[in-house]
Structure 1
């Protein structure tokens, strides 16, 4: 400023104009090159088809880690209550998913994440509540599926090397390293072909496992199978609670708005098609495996159905390989809310092409920390069934059953016809209330079984 006063008036103004022009050009350049974390997150928006949405939804929900415990859940509930819970869970989550998809632009703005949708409807409390539930669901899901993937890898290894010395913990670490590599892909849309392969692996896993389950069931003396619930009255009650949490986990999908943000217009129509197509796969795989698994083994069925299968060995190996492939994509889908949350807060908001290396190094550090935490917990407490139940009860029940109905009621997007409007209100309120109770009961059952397992097994136990 002192220099400007020493200049002639005309020269001073010319100098000031030049400075302003340079500053405006710099601002325009910064606007043209947005922060790298924003670019990575938004570059893929609106390019996916309904088929891509179906791949993402099916990969997120219909993972072997989700429906492999279903025969065990039915064994804990018995035929009548088990079938009712499974069919009811399917219909309720399909309905809830369509409700979430319908709120894509309910207030004139695209709701690209669960957190944004909750904030627009319920304010900051909604934002932070959904953030907590989503993180619990994501972390719990990835711990459970990593245990399942490690178990499947170990089963394949033991088939070829029966006397091999590698433990479950080592296979959990191997899977964690592989997921760390996949974590460097920038967003959900970049996983579309990975998830396409995973969807076909879901079908392969279901078909193989159902066939082998029926084959094993026919080899067993059917007269020896008794479908009566076993144990004391309190044991039966807690097993039932735990089973409700496992069923809630099997329909877990905490990522619908994030998936919908990758779908091109008309986003609602494409998402409706994608959800319905994914649920077609879910119905065929879930119901068939749950019913055939419980029929084959009765109350002796294991929490991870593959552990109950014995012959023929090559088909069991194939089913385990399908499981690992599918789980690898599911794991990645559930990483993304955590990555997106911390990327937006820990990584530099002024990052551009000049600091690209710095951005990737920071992101690599973030993914390493995340994968180390998940792998450590999975290796230390490999109690697959317990994590499935508590994750379903605490994380997925609020997100997939309770919140969608409350959000739809809050939005005021009710049908015009009085009878239809009343029906929608009754159904939505009933789902919210009933599954709030289910979540509470499932949490109680899961915590009890975790405490019992911790008394029985030591940390880093080779299951």
Structure 2
């Protein structure tokens, strides 16, 4: 396997020049055409993108989803093991951005090239399902943040669905004017400032609340069956907070050497980035114990300005960070629908781009308003689709590409990964579906949660 193509391999023939003049590019030796940018971003830019995107508003839910079902011993162990395991899996997958000198800018293209059309379509379904559910979760979280802000000034805030619609509209506007992942470059500094600002205020409030409430409980509640299923749900949530199932799509934006640069960006995510979102998870559980809310700011005791500031900053930051997790879907639609010989904001493509983004966010916003259960989205996308994308498929790729040269112990390790992760997918998916069934019984459609 060639880790990187030579100078004449996988060369970008034409690169978009600025947001308004974005043109499709053609990747040599692969026959791939895309409307988005390939091979232009630095690893520092992508590293900052990963740090800020994974420190998005989702981290305000993970203490409830991970620590409450597991408590201290198993919760910390789960965070450490899953963190290392996902970091290793992404580090491994980054090497397969190039196979025999050919560059693959999409995960599904690699799987289709190695395993055929069925695996191409299966990967497409798994990946897009993950990203769709993730975007719905972002919309719900954004709506929840707006509702929390309004609740500070009114005893009768509007229904959650109104705020969800506002959030969907904001995401649509950003995705229309900043259509690609590379185009986020000038927004990453602002996103970083927002990220570390709301994290800092959150940490200060939690320390204050924790000191004022010494009688916290850390017991795991529920029947024995509930404890088991919720524990597997916590594993799914831990995977979600560490990876997104779109590594090759992110890596496609990097300039050469793409493998080395992607791994540098991953080191940033799993050191600096992980330090902050793991810190929020653990400190929130310390401060509020088993009563920590599924949306952390609901636990804050004040002052009012801190509650409003955290929700406002998290909301604004999510507008930028959500875009990374949905960019591969935008890329597929843009490449299919737009006139690939014209710029994305050209006169010929302006209306098409507007309609494509409008239809996408209208559909996602409607589903989010109908099923506003944050935990369900996290657990389901972390089980059914994200576990295979993160753990099963990279090992399958390794065994296919390195079948003749890999040592026996390495082959055994990757077969173990495939079998264990497949079983974990089944169990965690059952747990997620069980939670959905329980919530469907408890809540009606368009519930104001």
TM-score by length of 2: 0.86
Structure 2 partner of 1:176? 168
The answer to whether structure 1 residue 244 and structure 2 residue 230 are counterparts is no
Gap change, CA 1:278 and 1:206, over 3 Å in 2: same
Q: What SS does structure 2 have at the residue aligned with 1:133?
A: helix
Structure 2 partner of 1:220? 213
Q: Retained in 1: the 8 A contact 2:344–2:350?
A: no
Separation of aligned partners in 1, 2:169 and 2:36: 27
Separation of aligned partners in 1, 2:76 and 2:412: 23
Q: Retained in 1: the 8 A contact 2:344–2:353?
A: no
Q: Retained in 2: the 8 A contact 1:245–1:388?
A: yes
Separation of aligned partners in 1, 2:219 and 2:15: 65
Separation of aligned partners in 2, 1:89 and 1:67: 19
Separation of aligned partners in 2, 1:32 and 1:278: 30
Per the TM alignment, residue 72 of structure 1 is displaced from its structure 2 partner at its CA by 3.5
Structure 2 partner of 1:75? 68
RMSD of Structure 2 on Structure 1 (CA): 2.8
After superposition, residues 411-426 of structure 1 pair within 5 angstroms as: 411-412=401-402, 422=409, 424-426=410-412
Q: Retained in 2: the 8 A contact 1:72–1:302?
A: no
Per the TM alignment, residue 318 of structure 1 is displaced from its structure 2 partner at its CA by 2.2
Deviation track 1:391-427 (CA, whole Å, cap 9, x = no partner) reads 11123222122222322232218987x5xx73x4454
Per the TM alignment, residue 165 of structure 1 is displaced from its structure 2 partner at its CA by 3.9
Deviation track 1:258-299 (CA, whole Å, cap 9, x = no partner) reads 111111112222111111012112321232122222222222
Structure 1 partner of 2:421? 435
Per the TM alignment, residue 37 of structure 1 is displaced from its structure 2 partner at its CA by 6.5
Separation of aligned partners in 2, 1:413 and 1:98: 19
Picking from 429, 438, 448, the partner of 1:452 is: 438
Per the TM alignment, residue 61 of structure 1 is displaced from its structure 2 partner at its CA by 3.0
The answer to whether structure 1 residue 101 and structure 2 residue 94 are counterparts is yes
The answer to whether structure 1 residue 148 and structure 2 residue 149 are counterparts is no
Separation of aligned partners in 2, 1:265 and 1:341: 23
Structure 2 partner of 1:370? 360
Structure 1: state its 5+ residue gaps.
1-30
Q: Retained in 2: the 8 A contact 1:397–1:435?
A: yes
Per the TM alignment, residue 347 of structure 1 is displaced from its structure 2 partner at its CA by 4.1
Gap change, CA 1:346 and 1:55, over 3 Å in 2: same
Structure 2: state its 5+ residue gaps.
1-12, 26-32
Q: What SS does structure 2 have at the residue aligned with 1:69?
A: helix
Q: What SS does structure 1 have at the residue aligned with 2:253?
A: coil
Structure 1 partner of 2:288? 297
Gap change, CA 1:33 and 1:335, over 3 Å in 2: closer
- Structure with bigger helix share is 1
Gap change, CA 1:66 and 1:399, over 3 Å in 2: farther
Deviation track 1:190-228 (CA, whole Å, cap 9, x = no partner) reads 012223432443333333323322221111132xx3322
Q: What SS does structure 2 have at the residue aligned with 1:187?
A: coil
Per the TM alignment, residue 76 of structure 1 is displaced from its structure 2 partner at its CA by 0.4
Q: What SS does structure 2 have at the residue aligned with 1:64?
A: coil
Separation of aligned partners in 2, 1:32 and 1:402: 35
TM-score by length of 1: 0.84
Computing the radius of gyration from Cα coordinates, the structure with the larger value is: 1
